[in-house]
Chain A
Amino acid sequence: DAEITQSPRHKITETGRQVTLACHQTWNHNNMFWYRQDLGHGLRLIHYSYGVQDTNKGEVSDGYSVSRSNTEDLPLTLESAASSQTSVYFCATSRAGQETQYFGPGTRLLVL
């Protein structure tokens, strides 16, 4: 069955360290999204991609970067982790031309 996997599922890091969260999908969907979810804020879009070599900034992109070298993967990098980036991170995908998004299981990140 097609799926979206995220790794690691849990991560503890220190402020200032670079951290990369992985997202891998076997849906063969063109569109991929990274969100963070915090109490009181709901889902907020960090970065998104509509295909290989395409990346775009979302509403909360400062301190994050992504790259898309193939259809299956969209890794999210925190360049220099800050305590404000403690959150749960979700990767989602959708078919080209469609809005319905399918989500991965999430990564819980704690920055100390």
Chain B
Amino acid sequence: EDQVTQSPEALRLQEGESSSLNCSYTVSGLRGLFWYRQDPGKGPEFLFTLYSAGEEKEKERLKATLTKKESFLHITAPKPEDSATYLCAGGSMDSNYQLIWGAGTKLIIKP
């Protein structure tokens, strides 16, 4: 069964303290690993898609990487405005354009 697992559930960091969020996946025929940001009371906002192991994408203080089993969202020198819940999802060859979602990591950056 296809599955996406995120860890940790929550992460508290001081401003400027770099860290990584993990997304482990078992998805048959991966057709992309997706990262989204969700602010309280809002819908998820698309960040990145990674398609093959070794691929990396960056946006401001965020960098997403992909291996054959997991993806990492690295946050470098975070600021309080980076506080949000980060969701990852996998697209499968078998799922006909649906996404398999992780439960998310709630990131809190303290000033």
Contact = CB atoms under 8 A, between A and B. Distances in A.
A102 B87 contact: no
A106 B38 CA distance: 11
Interface stretch (A11-19, A66-74, A78-86, A93-101): A93-101
A100 B103 CA distance: 18
Interface stretch (B42-50, B53-61, B62-70, B75-83): B42-50
B43 A97 contact: no
A101 B46 contact: yes
Contacts of A100: 32, 34, 46, 49
A99 B101 contact: no
Given A41-B103, A42-B87, A103-B43, A97 B98 contact: no
Interface of B: 31-32, 34, 36, 41-46, 49, 87, 89, 91, 97-99, 101-104
A3 B15 CA distance: 33
15 contacts: A43-B87, A43-B89, A43-B101, A45-B98, A48-B98, A90-B44, A99-B32, A99-B91, A99-B98, A100-B32, A100-B34, A101-B46, A103-B44, A104-B43, A106-B41
Given A99-B34, A103-B44, A105-B43, A42 B102 contact: yes
| B interface: dominant SS | strand
A100 B44 CA distance: 12
Q: Which 10 A-B pairs have the closest CB atoms?
A: A103-B43, A99-B91, A42-B103, A43-B101, A103-B44, A42-B101, A105-B43, A106-B43, A90-B43, A99-B32
Residue among A50, A97, A102 with most chain B CB within 10 A? A102
A46 to B, nearest CB: 12
Interface of A: 4, 31, 33, 40-45, 48, 50, 58, 90, 92, 94, 97-106
Contact of A40 (B42, B87, B98, B103): B103
